[in-house]
Each structure stands twice: as C-alpha cells, then as structure tokens.
Homo-oligomer: A and B are copies of this chain.
Amino acid sequence: MDHRGVGNDIESHECPGTEGGAMERNGSDVSDMREPLLLRKRTKNTTSQMAIVGANICPIESLDYEIVENDLFKQDWRSRRKVQIYQYIVLKWTLALLIGLGTGLVGFFNNLAVENIAGFKLLLTSDLMLVKRYYMAFFAFAGCNLVLAAIAAAVCAYIAPAAAGSGIPEVKAYLNGVDAHSILAPSTLFVKIIGSIFGVSAGFVLGKEGPMVHTGACIASILGQGGSRKYHLTWTWLRYFKNDRDRRDLITCGAAAGVAAAFRAPVGGVLFALEEAASWWRSSLLWRTFFTTAVVAVVLRTLIEYCQSGKCGLFGKGGLIMFDISSTVISYSTPDLLVVLILGVTGGIFGGLFNFLLNKILRVYSIINEKGAPFKILLTMGISLVTSFCAYGLPWFARCTPCPAGLKEQCPTIGRSGNFKNFQCPPGHYNDLASLFLNTNDDAIRNLFSGNTDNEFRISTLLIFFTAVYLLGLFTYGIAVPSGLFIPVILAGASYGRIFGTLLGSVSDLDAGLFALLGAASFLGGTMRMTVSVCVILLELTNDLLMLPLVMLVLLVSKTVADSFNKGVYDQIVTMKGLPYMEAHAEPYMRHLVAGDVVSGPLIIFSGVEKVGNIMHGLRLTGHHGFPVVDEPPYTDAPELCGLVLRSHLLVLLKGKKFTKERVATGVSQVSRNFGAFDFAKAGSGKGVKLEDLEIEEEDMEMYVDLHPITNTSPYTVVETMSLAKAAVLFRELGLRHLCVVPKTPGRPPVVGILTRHDFMPEHILGLFPHFKPRKWS
C-alpha cells in the first residue's frame, strides 16, 4: 500500500480515458469479436426503482442515487452545493407535509362522501320500510347498490384497471423494487378515490383502508414527480427527487399516511409502513413518516371538529377515536387467558382458511376478468345483487327483540344510521340482524364492539352474520372495484368473537364487546400476519390501552397458527400477480448453488468506446436495463471491467448524437458540454427516452461514442464462486438492480454475467435445474 498524496488520490478511481480525451489510439476492429449478440428474451416486467447507481459526486446523502457520476457535473454541483442542500431539506419536509395534507383531505372527503351517500340510501330504505312497502324498499336498496356498483366497476374497468383491489400488495412490491405498470399513475389515483367511495357506498363487504394506502402512495408519487408533465404541472426544484431512493421514501410516507387517514391511527400508520409495506428502512425515514402521519392526524381532527357542529350532512358523529370502548373496565383472570388462547387458535385457523379460499376464488375470477371490461362490470353487479339479497333478505329470518329498558339511545333507531334498526318490527322492538346488515360497515363494527350489550345480539343472528360476511368478503375482494380487506376481516372477526364470547360466557367474565375486539384481532393476525401494527391500530381505534396484553397474546397465537398453513394474504396476492418480489431471506436451496450457476447468458458487453451500431444492436436485441462496460487491450494491458451502464442513460446519450468518427475517448467534458445535470435523472413513469424515439442514421452506425462518462465505475460485484444465498443477501439488503459476476481465475473475460432480480426468483432457478427437487435440497 502506498499512501499517495491527496492531490492525485481523490479522483484516482476513474476509468482510464474519462478525462480530456488523452487516448486517441484507433481500435475499431476490437469490439466486433463479441458477436453474435444473441440473448434469451426476458420477461418484460420493468423491475425496480431501487438502483444504487453511483457514488462520487453528489454532495448530500440522498443524491447518492443520482445518475450524475464520474465528476461529470462537478463544477456545477460544487458551486451550488450549499443552496441545494437547504433546498433539498426544505423540500423534503414540505413534501412530507403536503403528502400528509393531501392524504388527510382525501381520507376525510372519502369518509364524508361515503357516509352521506350510504346514509341517504339507508334513510330511503328505512322510510319505505316504515310504511311497510317492503318490495319497494328492496328495489330502492338493491337498485341504489347496483347503480353505485356499476359506476365504480365501470370507472375502474375502463379508466384504470390497476386501481382494482386493495393496492397494498402493489405498494409493497413497489417498495421492494417492482414497478408494476401504471400502479401510481394519476388516473389510478382518480379511480381509486372515486371507485372506493362508490364501492363502499354500494354496501359491499369491503373497506376503504387498502385503497387509502394506495391513494396515499399515489399522492406521494405524483407530488414527488412534481405533478404531471403532461399537463405542464411541474416544478423544477423537484429534480432533486428524481431518483429511486427519494421516490421510495416519499411513497413509504404516503402509505403510512393512508393508514393514518383510514383508521385515524397515526402511530399505527408508521408501524404499518414499517412492518408490512417497506422493504428497506432507515431511522430518518421513521421520523419523516411520523411527521406525515402527525399532519394527517391534525388535519382529520380539525375537519372532524368542524363537522361536529352538523355542517357535513350525515357525517359528524365520532371523534378521532373511531370505536371508543375505553369506558369498559377490565380485569381478567387465568380462565380468561385460556379462553383467549383458544380464541386465538381458532381465529388463526379461520384466517388461514380465508387466505386459502381467497386464493382459489381469485384464480377463478381472473379468468372472468381477463375476458374484458364488460365482464368485469357484470361480475361486480352480480356480487352487488347477492350482497343486497343477503343484506335485505337475511334479516327476515331474525326475530324481533323488544328494546331493552333504561336505554339512553333511541330505540328503535328511525331514519338514521346506528344501532337498533326497527326493520319490519313493531314499535318498541328492533331487528338485531338488520342492525348489522342495514348499516355502514363502520357502524356495524361499532355495534359489535360496543360494551355492556351482552344480550343485544342473539347467537343465531351472529352466526348468520358471520357466515354471510365471511363468504361475501371472500367473493367481493376480486371484483373490479377498489376494495380493502381490513373491514371484512374485522367484521367477520368481531362477529366470530362475539359468538365465541357468548358460547363461553359461563367460563369467562369478559364483556362480549371485548370478545368482539379480540376476535377481530385474531382474524387480522390470521390473515394479514401483522402483529405490532395491528395491535397499535386496534389500540388507536378503540382507545383501550388496558386490553393491550390480551390483544398481543391473541395476535401472536393466531399468527403462529395461521403461519403453519400458508403465507399472509398480501404475500399471496403478490405471488399470484407474478411480481418478482425479493424476500428478505435467501431460500435454503440457494446455499447449494453459486452465483455463476444462475447467470443466464450470453451477455452483451460494451467497450469503453463503442460503435453506435453495436449499442443499437444490443439495445434492440434485449430488454436489459444494464450492460457491463469493459476496457480492452488497446486501452489497457488486459481487458478489465470498467463498470456498468444503464439502458436509460445510453438512450439519452445516443439521442444527443455526439459521435466521433475515430475510436477516441472524448471524456467527460464532451458530455458535460452537451447535457445538463438532470438530463440523466430518472424520468417519471413512461416519460423517459424510448428506443423508438432515436433517429440514428446509417452513417452514424459506424461512428463511435465514449461510454466512460456515463458508466457507473463502482458497481457491486461478486465472484462467480460466491454462494448464491450470500449474493442474494447482498442484492436484497443493498437494494440493487444489477450485480456483476466476475470470474474467479484470471485470463477470462472480466465479467461473467449480470444478476438481476429475476435471476433470484425460484421459477428461474428451478427452470435452470429441471431435475432438481427443492424440498430435498433444503
């Protein structure tokens, strides 16, 4: 080791030829040796927002991911550094604030619209019921539902099919590095909001929680991209956020804000983002996410307080705590704990079964949905009719119950949403099943959670409701409407918990409302497989800190039980959608393979100074997003790996059309003269330069272009004999897009292949080794 002086040393890690075009030897015939450039066609999924591209120039941490490398725009940066750091920090927090504001407003608006539409519908029905016009009431009810459902499905099917479903799996995959098509586009946002309002209002057994997470992520993405360039709504300052990491951070904030807005649970939102959504996590992100959800809480609180004076139509009951049950005093003993354990076990089984059945049903639905938009709408309308039949028809099987004496509330409730629906009952009586079915989902949950009401709901009523909601929840999720899974699972779990509590009332002293809460927790643990975040969300929903140990216990038991059957529901959906999700741990059989085993070749390699024709050929032949750059003998003593060049940067470079006739290294100055610092920044989705945009003439094809200035000279590499499991850990932990595999022994080409996300997928590996049974390997 020589300790070289600082002057020479700092910049010493560039490729030869980056500066000043010092090398002008001609080596035009060298690069032809690598023909043919044949390649196996890859699947077309545009992976990854996660590249750690380069190092070495950008002054603040977050800009580490920028394309700008190799001291390309150094002068530009140096002089303006300090201002930019402040701009960046101010912007970062401003964006977090805006995301919080936006998501909070959308969440409030969503709530407001749903409660007014659904309230109006229920009012109409109950008015008609009062005058005993049963058929008309049904037609009004089912008709409203059908129209609302059809609107939601049509909007979803024709404008943004990506908006269907929960959205949490897609956000999760995005944060893992999988950029599915148009998942965060403005049209998706629009449909998600509208579709969710109409879907929830239509009385489906679905929630607004998943869609709110997706909405938050969309808002964050659109704000981060500076609005839409299409509609000239951009802001140049936002160029700082045109990189993978900042986008990912913003979208994490957005997802957290979504949960915070849906459940009015700021801490729960942060934990949700941490536990379920994000694949990479930093402490500073924790802080920013926390800020965003705090803003959401403040916005919601302000608006709800404004509404409490009755200015928001039918909306306005309830404060920041949605299902406040804190009044119930609890003390529990050992038999209670045992009962709760059993509740957790059976809840876990039901949760696992839910996931299993959902998987089967989604596979059937996908066949129907693939036939086209009209079929999607028909399916949605069919499910809407079934739901209406259940909601209106099943209460007829319930007997009328006399109103309990000494009640503070009105009973039966007439003309508004709430408890004690009279339905077809005589005055002074109420129909308990109608109280659950003919209500908004939120009110039904509130009814189930309410304490000191052990005899309000009959066990037969609860059984009917549980069965109907469990099945409807399963059959509703796959339709072409934005639909969350939290509410169905909580509804089913709460009714299951009440049944359980009523049956074991003799053994345990716990309140039926508390059993409902514990049942909901057990179902959430069994389907979603989240622990801490669900626990905190439930805590923030119910304001019942003393229940915490019991809720924790139930969640742990039900998750453990369900984990022995299958994966969590969001993981299942990610797998089913075929998104190449990188798990946090390597599969056991990867330990028996090495990196070189799974590299699929042959590989396209570019020279440091490459012929334009070769580059065009390489870009046309493959969909690869990264290519290794190798310096070869006329320039160096032996071929050596210079670095990695990205497809998007090559396209920008080729579009600039600054080619040379001779094979010379033109160096950095050439590029920095012809391009701005942000020409190479990551474009918004669908906005980058495309191969078809290039107009390269025949004579240009024989010219040369210097790739050194846009090459990332510090790519992460592994030796070909590296254990595949360890390569996978490296790839996943650092959030890479490309990993260069270099040979172990000298004297071979300096790069053996490039590993991408797809190379680590089980299907790819098992495809390479067809005789191989994974079970035996592990």
Contacts and interface: CB of A to CB of B under 8 A. Distances in A.
B283 A747 contact: no
Interface string A294-310: 10011001000100000
A57 interface: yes
Q: What is the total number of copies of this protein in its complex? A: 2
A56 B640 contact: no
Interface string A593-609: 11011011111000000
Given A719-B717, A722-B714, A768-B3, A549 B730 contact: no
Given A266-B549, A531-B287, A716-B730, A588 B60 contact: yes
Given A60-B588, A552-B266, A730-B716, A1 B752 contact: yes
A54 B320 CA distance: 51
Contacts of A294: 549, 552-553, 556
A460 B553 CA distance: 48
A408 interface: no
Given A283-B275, A531-B290, A543-B545, A6 B721 contact: no
A454 interface: no
A281 to B, nearest CB: 7
Contacts of A76: none
A734 interface: yes
Interface in A55-76: 55-61, 64
Nearest to A320: B546
Interface stretch (A212-220, A341-349, A532-540): A532-540
A56 B549 CA distance: 40
Interface string A37-55: 0000000000000001011
Interface stretch (A9-17, A183-191, A610-618): A9-17
A281 B282 contact: no
B267 A275 contact: no
Interface string A535-571: 1100110010110110011001001000000000000
Given A543-B545, A717-B719, A559 B593 contact: no
Contact of A725 (B64, B297, B553): B64
A472 B10 CA distance: 48
A416 to B, nearest CB: 25
A38 to B, nearest CB: 12
- Please indicate which of the listed interface residues A54, A636, A733, A752 has the most CB atoms of chain B within 10 Å of its own CB: A733
A239 interface: no
Contact of A548 (B57, B61, B266, B593): B266
A638 interface: yes
Interface in A578-592: 584-586, 588, 591-592
A474 interface: no
Contacts of A57: 591
Contact of A549 (B1, B301, B584, B714): B301
B723 A287 contact: no
A321 interface: yes
A360 interface: no
A91 interface: no
A9 B719 contact: no
Given A1-B752, A294-B556, A9 B597 contact: yes
Contacts of A744: 640-641
A57 B722 CA distance: 14
Q: How large is the interface on A (under 10, 10 to 19, 20 to 34, 35 or more residues)?
A: 35 or more
A97 to B, nearest CB: 11
Nearest to A778: B59
A545 B321 contact: yes
A745 B638 contact: yes
A5 B535 CA distance: 50
Nearest to A321: B545
A559 B298 CA distance: 19
A588 B297 contact: no
Interface in A239-283: 266-267, 270-271, 274-275, 281-283
Contacts of A58: 591
A602 B1 CA distance: 7
Contacts of A6: 769, 771-772
Contacts of A13: 594, 721-723
Contacts of A584: 282-283
Contacts of A414: none
Contact of A540 (B297, B545, B585, B722): B545
A637 interface: yes
A236 to B, nearest CB: 24
A457 interface: no
A301 B597 CA distance: 55
A733 B733 CA distance: 6
A188 B369 CA distance: 65
A535 B725 contact: no
Nearest to A594: B13
A574 to B, nearest CB: 15
Nearest to A603: B1
A291 interface: yes
A726 interface: yes
A221 to B, nearest CB: 24
A753 interface: yes
A641 B743 CA distance: 12
Nearest to A563: B287
A512 interface: no
Interface in A718-763: 718-719, 721-723, 725-726, 729-730, 733-734, 744-747, 752-753
Interface in A1-35: 1, 3-6, 9-13
Lowest 8 CB-CB distances: which A-B pairs, in order?
A55-B723, A1-B601, A746-B746, A294-B552, A13-B594, A714-B723, A13-B721, A297-B549
23 contacts: A1-B753, A5-B771, A13-B723, A56-B591, A56-B723, A56-B725, A61-B586, A266-B552, A267-B535, A270-B532, A275-B286, A286-B531, A287-B531, A291-B556, A293-B552, A294-B553, A297-B552, A536-B536, A540-B548, A640-B746, A713-B721, A714-B722, A734-B734
Interface of A: 1, 3-6, 9-13, 52, 54-61, 64, 266-267, 270-271, 274-275, 281-283, 286-287, 290-291, 293-294, 297-298, 301, 305, 320-321, 326, 331, 531-532, 535-536, 539-540, 543, 545-546, 548-549, 552-553, 556, 559, 584-586, 588, 591-594, 596-597, 599-603, 636-638, 640-641, 713-714, 716-719, 721-723, 725-726, 729-730, 733-734, 744-747, 752-753, 768-769, 771-772, 777-778
